[in-house]
Amino acid sequence: MSSVTVASLNRISCERLRTLLLTQHTQPGEEKVVVVDVPSRLNKQDPDHIGGHIKSSRHVPSGSLDYTAAELARQLKGAEKVVFHCLLSQQRGPSAALRYQMERERLFGRGSTVTAGGTKEEEGGEGREGGEEGEVKMQEVLVLDGGFAGWQAKYGNDERLTENYNKELWEAEY
């Protein structure tokens, strides 16, 4: 069983994520960093998504993770970093990151993730699906500090980083 808890998940600053995303966009090829937006509802027009979102982020409602975490882990097995966030990254984002990491470790073995402090998790046996098409890379699961609220305050107007940003909506809400 994973020793990772919500409190021990690694975090990433908005500034560091910005740097990683801008670097990724200038180097074509496989996605190295994947951002997962975890809104509260299935509707892409819910209040958590309508004011904008991080460019190229995946929209994965928190209520769907119980039945989609395994497929998401398979889809993202080649990514080096997977960053989860919700509006503030205090509850849904970290809970989703934990659920995802536990599912990833169940599928590919405990050695498939980087734990708090940036170290490789002690091997818990061979991953069950490691031989499937495409290599399972070591992956760091992160939570965006400040969530989208913090992100939009810094990078909402940067069209390289944020799509469909509605400044008026954020000014009215915060």
Can you give the residue ranges of every domain in the chain?
A: 6-121+134-173
Q: Note whether 148 and 48 are within 8 A (CB).
A: yes
Q: Note whether 56 and 79 are within 8 A (CB).
A: no
Q: Would you say domain 6-121+134-173 falls under CATH 3.40.250.10?
A: yes
Q: Note whether 70 and 90 are within 8 A (CB).
A: no
Q: What is the pLDDT of residues 37-87, one digit of tens each?
A: 998 765 555 555 667 899 999 999 888 888 999 999 999 999 999 999 999
Above 50 in pLDDT, residue 122? no
Q: What is the pLDDT of residue 39?
A: 86
pTM as predicted: 0.84
Q: What is the pLDDT of residue 116?
A: 60
Helix orientation angle between 92-108 and 65-75, rounded to the nearest 10 degrees: 60
Q: What is the pLDDT of residue 114?
A: 83
Q: What is the pLDDT of residues 125-174, one digit of tens each?
A: 444 444 445 577 799 999 999 999 999 999 999 999 999 888 887 777 65
Q: What is the pLDDT of residue 58?
A: 93
Question: What residues contact 162, with CB distance under 8 A and at least 6 apart?
Answer: 52, 53, 54, 55, 151, 152, 155, 156
Quick one: tokens of 17? 């994520």
Quick one: tokens of 13? 């600053």
